[in-house]
Amino acid sequence: MDAIVKKIAPDAAVRPSREQAEEAVRVLLRWAGDDPKREGLLDTPKRVVNSYKELFAGYDADTDEVLGRTFEEVGGYEDMVLVRDIPFFSHCEHHMLPVIGKAHVAYLPDGRVLGLSKIARIVDVFARRLQTQEAMTAQIADAISESLQPLGVAVFIEAEHMCMAMRGVQKSGSTTLTTTFTGSFKANATEQVRFMTMVRSR
Ligand SMILES: [Zn+2]
């Protein structure tokens, strides 16, 4: 697999200007069959570009910065830490259509733990890029692994892909499940079962 992509935003010099991005939206509006000059669409390119800033903010985020280098002492705690049901919105890299899902992330600490909010934030960093679900699952696991160096990381993502629901095969309601296990989770099937049981317990 590729090394973790910590930050991949190009230099300002390579990035198109806001005006160029808005013009590209006008081109797509014409391609869809509409008239970018009609009143209801006049501000649409500006709004789309603004929303891209937010939806794709993950390109400008640095995973090291998000996870930080400050870890809390565990005070003797050495069992699994699981944050489940982390909602996210992403976009598939094939159609740029939304992917809506939940991530469940666990690790087995090796003397140190992460602030819990950081796990949710790292999910957002990778979700706010163009993604495949498989790559996103692995990237979250790798980023936590590299930064915290725990005994193992487990990531389970369940998501619905709008490119399947709205177009193509039009299978709305179908969910795609992906998992990545590292370290003790990878080596020990019992740990995987324990993780899945905790994710599913209600
Ligand atoms: Zn797609």
Model confidence, pTM: 0.91
d(CA 131, CA 163): 13
* Among 113, 111, 108, CA closest to 76: 111
Q: What is the pLDDT along the chain (202 residues), one digit of tens a residue?
A: 445 666 666 666 689 999 999 999 999 999 999 999 999 999 999 999 999 999 999 999 999 889 887 677 777 788 999 999 999 999 999 999 999 999 999 999 998 889 889 999 999 999 999 999 999 999 999 999 999 999 999 999 999 999 999 988 888 889 999 999 999 999 999 999 999 999 999 8
Q: Which residue has the tokens 């039009």?
A: 170
pLDDT on residue 167: 87
Go through the domains of the chain in sequence order and give each one's CATH number: 1-55 (1.10.286.10), 70-200 (3.30.1130.10)
Query: Ligand 1 mean position to 91 CA, how many Å?
Result: 8
CA 11 to chain centre: 22
SS3 content of the chain, % helix, strand, coil (to 5): 45, 20, 35
- Residue of 131, 133, 139, 192 marked catalytic: 133
- Residue of 146, 149, 160, 163 marked catalytic: 163
Query: Ligand 1 mean position to 189 CA, how many Å?
Result: 32
pLDDT on residue 130: 98
For residue 91, indicate whether it is catalytic.
Answer: no
In a 10 Å sphere around its CB, with 0-12 CB exposed, 13-18 middle and 19+ buried, how is residue 171 labelled? Answer: exposed
Query: Ligand 1 mean position to 169 CA, how many Å?
Result: 11
pLDDT on residue 75: 75
Query: Ligand 1 mean position to 92 CA, how many Å?
Result: 5
Q: Are 55 and 89 in contact (CB under 8 A)?
A: yes
For residue 104, indicate whether it is catalytic.
Answer: no
CA 129 to chain centre: 7
- Residue of 22, 139, 161, 191 marked catalytic: 161
